[in-house]
Chains A and B, each alone.
Chain A
Amino acid sequence: MRTPAYRVLDVGAARIAVHSPIARFHADLDTVYPHQGREDPADFADVRVTLLPDAPLLQPWKRQVSLWSEASRPFEPYPRHSALPLFEWGGNWLLAQRLNAYLLLHAGVAARNDRALILPAAPGSGKSTLTCALHLAGWRFLSDEFGVIEPDSGMVLPLLKPAALKNRSIEVIGAHPRAVLGPVFPGTRKGDVAHFVPDRDSHEGRHRPARPRLVVFPRYQAGSPLSCTPVPEAEAAMRLGLNSFNYRALGPVGFQAVIRLARESHAWELVYDDLDSAIETIETLLERAP
């Protein structure tokens, strides 16, 4: 049987295989996954997708790209040049469907000495920006979208995909001298998007779990002074559940996992405007965490 030439990305908690004849897409992949080696395309992949050029039936001149997975097309096509954002969002969506052996928090995750900080937050709260800023300040990058909690061990597993920065975050993070960003995709359905590339050390550590020690619920508020309030265990557990892709579906497994996570870490709510002082505060909080 013929098999497409898949390119396999090992991102830690999952392996993603992708096939596409679109050259620009492969160039973009090279930019945002620069540390990925040559994985054997025949090995297991959690998600296999194909990105194919197409055009609407009634507007054959329009250049689009569709993401196919398992002979179906779960999303509307994107403009041809936006194959990378389509792959990133589509891949995340598929991972969220399939990784239900884990509790999946909607969170950024970074670690120091394998002691992990979890930043669960609603979109727009600044979790991606903060995760990237922490990484640039020397933290190990584990994920900007998924807090993958292994229910049996309580450990958090890296899911090392590039962080999708939106709109103003692109300038804020891009201004940093060590920041590596992929191309900017203007005017996607989530606004302008650019992908931030985690460093080689984080890539090398993608199979090394970390122990959750600190949970910070961030809230970016322009012009606000920094404020930091402790979140009681029970409330932290509940809010972790609310910021999860599959808490409800996991039933008792999810419940035990968020309880354990809340018990084994300190939880804070952080309202911030200035990134540097937010990072400084978070450093102190991690030192004081169990």
Chain B
Amino acid sequence: MSISLSSATGLLLQGVAGPLQLAESDWEYILRLARMSGLHGRLAAANKDNPTLPAPIRRHLLSAERMCAFNGQMLQGELSSLASLCDGRFPVLLLKGAAYARQNQAFARGRFVSDVDLLVPREHLRSMEQRLRSAGWKPAELDPYDERYYRDWSHETPPMRLPGHFLEVDLHHAITPVTAGLRFDPAPLFDASEALPGTPFRALSLEDQVLHACLHCFQDGDLSLRVREVADIDGLLRSAAGQNEFAERLIGRAARLGLQRPLWYGLRFAHAWMETPHAQEMLARLEAPPALCRAAMERLVPLAMLPPDPDFPPSASVRLARLAMLTRYHLQRMPLRMLLPHLARKAGLRIRSRFAGAPSQNA
């Protein structure tokens, strides 16, 4: 079974957890895998005081550490701007990276944040969006079709940015798309949420954070190089390791929200790749997916999510696996009667822009 790691990727994931001792050329290879997967900041944090680092590697890890410190600074700035928009009339939850950073999670050291994800109750979405706009945040410019896509079919508003700021804000009213098969009423997420001391924000309970990380990891569109999300799941589970009966609560919560399947996959890969403590026991207590789905996922996920050989363009099998995962995502997200017209329209627009000579996105 191809779920096992290449030795280099195994070393990368070890290096994210603690200091490595390697020859310079091996280090270079691991460093490249780390950059590809966005784990270089975590590699730097875990090896900051490693006395065995060769000089050029130390220099590159310092480079990553500085970029990460800057990223953290930008996050703090964004959060303090956002804090002034929260008046306590409705809960505003920080999701993912922003929450991990505010909670001082061990695995947030060196973790890059690409945007700030906020979750508000659906009935307050427009009001929160209005507040952001009044304070100067501007949505990315979208054509009317994309705008409607976000409004009607998505679980978030189009990304917004305060001019001059580095990070985007994504405003969510649910953690699954409204059209998806796995959708559920997000009200219990707010009920179980926890205050983030010193801020007007709240965060999902640890159980819900794990479930959200699993959802995000396996139900998102582009799974390329998403191994860092498995590292998040691992980090969250490790931070819960001291809690009594966390496993029971997590499994119970997954059952209540209907998220056993994403949780199963999250645990499966966290166990396989990062030897996450207790993941194996929890897996034994969850119903495994049907053999065919499982075999397909165990075949495709490593190809799509783990960094491929940095010396070459991604191989045909890697590209195929990514495409398969994208197809799976679209099929889960929308019924075919909505999906096919959507994809046709997108393809039409892309071809038209290519022939009009408009610059296309980087591959």
> Which A residues lie at the B interface, using CB under 8 A?
1, 3-4, 19, 42-46, 48, 50, 52, 58, 68-76, 98-101, 248-251, 253
User: Within the complex, what minimum Cβ distance (angstroms) separates B167 from chain A?
Assistant: 13
Q: How far is the CA of A72 from the CA of B313 in the complex (A)?
A: 7
Residues of B within 8 A of A43 (CB): 24-25
B84 contacts chain A at the CB level, 8 A cutoff = no
Among all A-B residue pairs, the 9 with the closest Cβ atoms: A100-B63, A249-B70, A101-B59, A70-B310, A101-B62, A101-B63, A44-B56, A70-B36, A73-B363
In the bound assembly, the distance between CA atoms of A251 and B28 in angstroms comes to 27
Residues of A with C-beta under 8 A to B362: 73-76
Main secondary structure of the interface of B (DSSP, over half): helix
Give the contacting residue for B66; candidates A19, A45, A249; CB below 8 A: A249
Residue of B nearest to A19 (CB): B311
Contact call B60/A98, Cβ cutoff below 8 A? yes
Distance of A268 from chain B, by nearest CB (Å): 31
Q: Which of A19, A72, A76, A100 contacts B67 (CB 8 A)?
A: A100
Please, which residue of chain A has its CB at the minimum distance from the CB of B355? A58
Other A-B contacts than A43-B25, A70-B35, 18 sampled, CB-CB below 8 A, are A44-B54, A44-B56, A44-B57, A45-B28, A50-B311, A50-B313, A68-B313, A69-B310, A70-B36, A71-B36, A71-B309, A71-B310, A98-B63, A100-B64, A248-B70, A249-B66, A251-B69, A253-B66
Give the docked Cα–Cα distance between A248 and B54 (Å): 27
B280 interfacial by beta-carbon distance below 8 Å: no
| Cβ A76 vs Cβ B312 within 8 A | no
With A249-B66, A251-B70 in contact, do A50 and B56 touch (Cβ < 8 Å)?
A: no
Determine if B73 and A1 form an interchain contact, defined as CB atoms under 8 angstroms apart: no
Cβ A1 vs Cβ B25 within 8 A? no
CA distance A253 to B360 in the complex (A): 37
Specify the main secondary structure of chain A where it touches its partner: loop
- Is B60 a contact of A52 with CB atoms below 8 Å? no
Q: Which residue of chain A is the closest to B36 with respect to CB atoms?
A: A70
A residues near B354, Cβ cutoff 8 Å: 58
Q: How far is the CA of A52 from the CA of B314 in the complex (A)?
A: 13
Number of chain B interface residues as a range: 20 to 34
A-B contact pairs, 28 of them (CB 8 A): A4-B311, A4-B312, A19-B311, A46-B56, A50-B311, A50-B312, A50-B313, A52-B313, A58-B354, A69-B310, A70-B32, A70-B36, A70-B310, A71-B36, A71-B307, A71-B312, A74-B362, A75-B362, A76-B359, A98-B60, A100-B66, A101-B62, A101-B66, A249-B66, A249-B67, A251-B66, A251-B69, A251-B70
- Give the CA-CA distance A70 to B28 in the complex, in Å: 12
Chain B 64-110 interface residues, beta-carbon cutoff 8 Å to A: 64, 66-67, 69-70, 73
Segment 346-363 of B: residues with Cβ below 8 Å from A: 354, 359-360, 362-363
For residue B310, which residues in chain A have a CB less than 8 angstroms away from its CB?
Answer: 48, 69-71
- Determine whether B308 belongs to the interface, using a CB cutoff of 8 Å to chain A: yes
List B contacts of A248 (CB < 8 A). 70
With A and B bound together, what is the CA distance between A73 and B25 in angstroms? 23
Q: Are A71 and B67 within 8 A (Cβ)?
A: no
Complex alpha-carbon distance, A153 and B328, angstroms: 54
| CA gap between A249 and B363 in the complex, in Å | 26
Chain A residues with CB under 8 Å of B308's CB are 71
Q: By the criterion CB–CB under 8 Å, are B307 and A44 in contact?
A: no
Bound CA span A75–B359, Å: 11
A48, A58, A68, A72 — which one has the most chain B CB atoms within 10 A of its CB? A72
**Residue of chain A at shortest CB distance from B73:** A251
User: In the bound complex, how far is the Cα of B231 from the Cα of A233, in angstroms?
Assistant: 47
Q: Which residues of A contact B56 (CB under 8 A)?
A: 44, 46
Bound complex: CA of A41 vs CA of B363, how far in Å? 28
Shortest distance between the CB of B270 and any CB in chain A (Å): 24
Q: How far is the CA of A124 from the CA of B202 in the complex (A)?
A: 50
Contacting residues, chain B, for A74 (C-beta < 8 A): 362
Q: Which residues of the partner chain A approach B359 to less than 8 Å between Cβ atoms? A: 76
Bound Cα distance from A281 to B223, whole angstroms:
58
Whether the pair B60, A48 counts as a contact (CB closer than 8 A) is no
Q: A43-B24, A76-B362 are in contact. Are A71 and B313 (CB under 8 A)?
A: yes
> For residues 17 through 34 of chain B, which have their beta carbon under 8 Å from a beta carbon of chain A?
24-25, 27-28, 32
A164 vs B24: C-alpha distance when bound (angstroms): 32
Cβ-defined contact, A44 with B25, below 8 A: yes
Chain B residues with Cβ below 8 Å from A251 are 66, 69-70, 73
Name the contact of B363 in the complex, choosing from A19, A52, A69, A72 (C-beta under 8 A). Answer: A72
- Contacting pair A1 B309 (CB below 8 A): yes
Within 8 A of A (CB), among B228-280: none
* Other-chain contact of A101, B25, B35, B60, B312 (Cβ < 8 Å): B60
Q: How far is the CA of A21 from the CA of B312 in the complex (A)?
A: 13
Residue numbers in B under 8 Å from A3 (CB-CB): 311
Give the chain A neighbours of B54 by CB distance below 8 A: 44
User: What 0/1 readout, one digit per residue, does chain B (33-56) give for beta carbons within 8 Å of chain A?
Assistant: 001100000000000000000101
Report the separation of the CA atoms of residues A43 and B67 in the bound assembly, to the nearest whole angstrom: 25
Tell me the bound Cα distance from A93 to B354 in angstroms.
25
Q: Tell me whether A250 and B25 are in contact (CB under 8 A).
A: no
Question: Which residues between 286 and 321 of chain B lie within 8 Å of chain A, taking CB atoms?
Answer: 307-314
Residues of B within 8 Å of A1, CB to CB, are 309
CA distance A76 to B363 in the complex (A): 8
Q: B313 — which chain A residues lie within 8 A by C-beta?
A: 50, 52, 68, 71, 73
Which residues of B lie under 8 Å from residue A19 when comparing CB positions?
Answer: 311
Task: Give Cα A3–Cα B310 distance, bound, in whole angstroms.
Answer: 10
